[in-house]
Structure 1
Amino acid sequence: MSHTVEKIGGTSMSQYQAVRDNIVLHKRKPGEYYQRMLVVSAFGGITDGLLECKRTGAPGVYATFADAEDDSAWEQTLDNVSNRMAQINKEMFGLSPERALADSFLNDRIAGIRDCLHHLRQVCAFGQFQLEEQLLTIRELLAAMGEAHSAHNMVLYLRQSGVNAVLMDLTGWRTDDALPLDQVLEQALERFDLSTQLPVVTGYAHCKEGLMSRFDRGYSEMTFSRLAVLSGAREAIIHKEYHLSSADPRLAGEDQVIPIGRTNYDVTDQLSNLGMEAIHPQAAKGLRQQDIPLRIRNTFEPDHEGTLITTDYRSPSPCVEMVAGRRNLFAVELFDQDMVGRVSHYAECFTDELDRMKLNLVAKDMNANTLTYYVSGNRKKVRRLVSALQHRFDNADVNTHKVSLVSAVGSDMSIPGLLARSVGALNKAKVPVRAVHQSLRAVEMQFIVDDEYYQQAVVSLHDELVQTHAETVALAVA
């Protein structure tokens, strides 16, 4: 039997006992621990402390270093993160010998980072050297620290339970050359025997392409994906703290949602566009091309098979598999009488400005004289976008509205009357619909609603399109 490559997210990593008991040891005899590779994220909250908070934007070491005029601010932030990592070491290992090994590893890496940042400040005091040119390198150095810490700790932790875990450190610590990612991974794979060793792999990989510059915080999924492709994995698995379910249980209720069970990569692309990545689209691309199945499993329900994602899956009968959405979007509406017959020119200019402002396009619609783009980003960037569009098109009216997008998603939604049922459910729940998008491919149907109606829209569509279908199927089986 060939091996699996398995990625463990940061929230799951923080529950390290569950990772050991539910993922590594669960119902396995000592000789059955292997033929696997574990790609790990940093412990929960550590990357936020090293870079910046993903949710609130609160500055971490990177953001503080980039903005600070002196060393005291970023050094204090680095000390704070280091103390949190040392506390994790204490909680994992107590007074065992592994504690000293974990602390020594942590202290060595933190001291190296501190020296590097100090020296960089000194070099950039000369006018010929610009700090801005080095910031991406610093960002990668700091991000790598989180994964190096968690991977090293997990190796020590698993060895305590008799697992021959070994560290696959891809962070490039104190190396001179940056090789292409695939070459980095191929060289690393040559050093391990999967029949007798369990490699624990850092989610960050130092490489010539620069994963941070291309994927930012999604870099670990690229490492995971390429490792699965290059090693010829039987299956790629992502362990999360929740199932890939028919809706967000916080909105629709934990007792109302159901794990999807099966779906395809097309659906995961739609979810990614909604900011609910099962896997980054570029990471999914390699798995898809090599026909490697992807499984999403719940770390805390080890006996559940989770959701299996394949290239060619279609639901046995047309149905909606999931109701998902995205809040806090801006509808940017460009109306110009001169647009008639020239929509493509306006669309090209609109897209150019979006790229320049680094705003993410989620959906769009158009008619003869109006383009409406639904974008995610902060209000300041949206204001700049509006100003730029008004500057380019003197006679245009540009307006913005705060909205949410709610989607019905499925591998095959070619259901007669589905749109009418959906609109009827929203109307019954007293949710005003601002816009509707339905594509010919029948994998997604989108509804634009005012932001205040987001939860009502999710719940009403889930009740009508998912629960009703599930109850009908249950009755037919009975």
Structure 2
Amino acid sequence: MSQYRAVRDNIVLHKRKPGGYYQRMLVVSAFGGITDGLLECKRTGAPGVYATYADAEDDSAWEQALDNVSTRMAQINREMFGNTPERAQADSFLQERIAGIRDCLHHLRQVCAFGQFQLAEQLQTIRELLAAMGEAHSAHNMVLYLRQSGVNAVLMDLTGWRTDEALPLDQALEQAMERVDLSSQLPVVTGYAHCEEGLMSRFDRGYSEMTFSRLAVLTGAREAIIHKEYHLSSADPRLAGEEQVIPIGRTNYDVTDQLSNLGMEAIHPQAAKGLRQQDIPLRVRNTFEPDHEGTLITTDYRSPSPCVEMVAGRRNLFAVELFDQDMVGRVSHYAECFTDELDRMKLNLVAKDMNANTLTYYVSGNRKKVRRLVSALQHRFDNADVNTHKVSLVSAVGSDMSIPGLLARSVAALNKANVPVRAVHQSLRAVEMQFIVDDEYYEQAVVSLHDELVQTHAETVALAVA
């Protein structure tokens, strides 16, 4: 959204006559860095307004954080509109919302000064209130910005600002759509939707994809399109090289689930579920290459011939290994206890291995939570040895990887690149093959597997065609 000119020129206006702007809905996220300022930095964990409010004993810290993010949002208004009437409208909208949030947080502090009211019980509501501000700001600005170019854009504000009740998500969306004429209006929709289900408590920052998905399902969309700043490619271009990676033309929802598990979401699995069930194709496009068709994701796609479509991975995982000779014949009991502790610690399970007396779970999360997990497991199983290792997971992924000798080729490629393999897993469904390596070998593993499994295959196909 920070590249608002590209959004306007490459998504809304691109090669369209005025009548062609419509029969679409534009679901937007906040401008870059704004949600980090309102909540906390997703990458570093640095506190924003929410984190500061939750932890501070007085009001000065969170008020300063709110002032900082408000100043940044006003700066965006200035950059987008300069000295125009739209700038005044954008500033007025921003000031009203920020003032409302400030008053709400002050009053809540006062109420919670009484023992019968606990701030902790309201923190999730506060988090949603603050997150919604980012989407409301960007959606309102985009409406004004598109109107300057002759587009009849309208704001579809789903944030629940000053509403009395929370409706079920689908009902809230249907009510909002009743007020829009898609034949002559382009709704710009806030990615956050205030609803009975509590999107943020379920999906955290992935809520906008859920709003996007349900709108597509409820309107019977011909196609759902996600615009990103890069192509869905055969590997991370920063690792494998921009000239070496290949944009993925087609794949299926099964593959996107595997990518999501690796933290590389094309779309949240729960958001993809509705699209898949309604057989709505999803397209992932590069905002900066509007003439490129992007990646088309469908339910039934299978590559014409078995191949590896991409190599992806996840760094900074912890391998938590539980060894206990008493486990033999009771693996399911140990696994159930292990999973219970993972859920209690709010750690994300990425992969797992097991044999007769050992369970190894590969989890993502901070080191403090992992230490608590180890202590809890040691407490539940007195005779067990529990160890942890810092590792990375590298996966070969494809809609059909039933290729004889693929595992042997992969291991040989890693061995040639001097990458020690700590563990390996190949599923019967032939959509993913996983390699566990020490964290320091992650980049080498991605590059070597991409060279062997993707580039070599692409060159072979090119030679065959030639």
In which range does the TM-score fall when normalised by the shorter chain? Answer: over 0.9
Name the residue aligned to 2:195: 207
1:22-51 deviations in whole A, cap 9, x for unaligned?
A: 000000111111110000000000000000
> 3-state SS of the aligned residue for 1:331?
strand
> 3-state SS of the aligned residue for 2:25?
strand
Offset at residue 370 of structure 1 (A): 0.4
Offset at residue 463 of structure 1 (A): 0.2
> 3-state SS of the aligned residue for 1:375?
strand
Match of 1:417 among 395, 400, 405: 405
Offset at residue 317 of structure 1 (A): 0.2
> 3-state SS of the aligned residue for 1:464?
helix
1:128-150 deviations in whole A, cap 9, x for unaligned?
A: 10000000000000000000000
Say whether residues 1:340 and 2:328 are aligned partners: yes
Offset at residue 360 of structure 1 (A): 0.3
1:392-423 deviations in whole A, cap 9, x for unaligned?
A: 00000000000000000000000000000000
The whole-number CA distance in structure 1 between the counterparts of 2:334 and 2:126 is: 39
Offset at residue 71 of structure 1 (A): 0.4
Name the residue aligned to 2:144: 156
The whole-number CA distance in structure 1 between the counterparts of 2:419 and 2:260 is: 25
The whole-number CA distance in structure 1 between the counterparts of 2:435 and 2:255 is: 17
1:241-280 deviations in whole A, cap 9, x for unaligned?
A: 0000000001000111011110000000000000000000
Name the residue aligned to 1:300: 288
Which consecutive segments of 4 or more residues in structure 1 shift more than 2 A? none
1:279-337 deviations in whole A, cap 9, x for unaligned?
A: 00000000000000000000000000000000000000000000000000000000001
Say whether residues 1:387 and 2:387 are aligned partners: no
Offset at residue 84 of structure 1 (A): 0.2
> 3-state SS of the aligned residue for 1:207?
coil
1:57-94 deviations in whole A, cap 9, x for unaligned?
A: 00000000000000000000000000000000000000
Say whether residues 1:93 and 2:81 are aligned partners: yes
The whole-number CA distance in structure 1 between the counterparts of 2:28 and 2:398 is: 30
> 3-state SS of the aligned residue for 1:36?
coil
1:163-191 deviations in whole A, cap 9, x for unaligned?
A: 00000000010000100000000111111
Name the residue aligned to 1:331: 319
1:224-246 deviations in whole A, cap 9, x for unaligned?
A: 00000011100000000000000
The whole-number CA distance in structure 2 between the counterparts of 1:76 and 1:387 is: 39
CA RMSD of aligned residues (A): 0.4
Offset at residue 15 of structure 1 (A): 0.4
> 3-state SS of the aligned residue for 2:369?
helix
The whole-number CA distance in structure 2 between the counterparts of 1:136 and 1:399 is: 35
> 3-state SS of the aligned residue for 2:5?
helix
> 3-state SS of the aligned residue for 1:14?
coil
The whole-number CA distance in structure 1 between the counterparts of 2:179 and 2:107 is: 34
The whole-number CA distance in structure 1 between the counterparts of 2:58 and 2:192 is: 29
The whole-number CA distance in structure 1 between the counterparts of 2:126 and 2:337 is: 34
The whole-number CA distance in structure 1 between the counterparts of 2:260 and 2:279 is: 19
Name the residue aligned to 1:244: 232
The whole-number CA distance in structure 1 between the counterparts of 2:339 and 2:7 is: 43
Say whether residues 1:431 and 2:419 are aligned partners: yes
Q: How does 1:73-472 map to 2 (within 5 A)?
A: 73-472=61-460
The whole-number CA distance in structure 1 between the counterparts of 2:203 and 2:10 is: 30
The whole-number CA distance in structure 2 between the counterparts of 1:304 and 1:477 is: 23
The whole-number CA distance in structure 2 between the counterparts of 1:310 and 1:240 is: 18
The whole-number CA distance in structure 2 between the counterparts of 1:232 and 1:185 is: 13
Offset at residue 476 of structure 1 (A): 1.1
Taking structure 1 as the reference length, the TM-score comes to 0.97
Taking structure 2 as the reference length, the TM-score comes to 1.00
> 3-state SS of the aligned residue for 1:363?
strand
1:344-369 deviations in whole A, cap 9, x for unaligned?
A: 00000000000000000000001100
Offset at residue 125 of structure 1 (A): 0.4
The whole-number CA distance in structure 1 between the counterparts of 2:59 and 2:302 is: 56
The whole-number CA distance in structure 2 between the counterparts of 1:190 and 1:228 is: 15
The whole-number CA distance in structure 2 between the counterparts of 1:31 and 1:181 is: 30
The whole-number CA distance in structure 2 between the counterparts of 1:260 and 1:77 is: 41
The whole-number CA distance in structure 2 between the counterparts of 1:38 and 1:475 is: 42
1:69-127 deviations in whole A, cap 9, x for unaligned?
A: 00000000000000000000000000111000000000000000000000000000001
State percent identity of aligned pairs. 95
> 3-state SS of the aligned residue for 1:48?
helix
> 3-state SS of the aligned residue for 2:27?
strand
Name the residue aligned to 1:6: none
Offset at residue 157 of structure 1 (A): 0.2
The whole-number CA distance in structure 2 between the counterparts of 1:239 and 1:260 is: 15
The whole-number CA distance in structure 2 between the counterparts of 1:101 and 1:176 is: 26
The whole-number CA distance in structure 1 between the counterparts of 2:178 and 2:280 is: 21
Match of 2:57 among 57, 60, 69: 69
Match of 1:39 among 14, 27, 47: 27
The whole-number CA distance in structure 2 between the counterparts of 1:177 and 1:337 is: 55
The whole-number CA distance in structure 1 between the counterparts of 2:165 and 2:331 is: 48
The whole-number CA distance in structure 1 between the counterparts of 2:73 and 2:88 is: 13
> 3-state SS of the aligned residue for 2:267?
coil
The whole-number CA distance in structure 2 between the counterparts of 1:335 and 1:73 is: 47
Gaps of 5+ in 2: none
The whole-number CA distance in structure 1 between the counterparts of 2:338 and 2:286 is: 41
Offset at residue 477 of structure 1 (A): 1.1
Gaps of 5+ in 1: 1-12
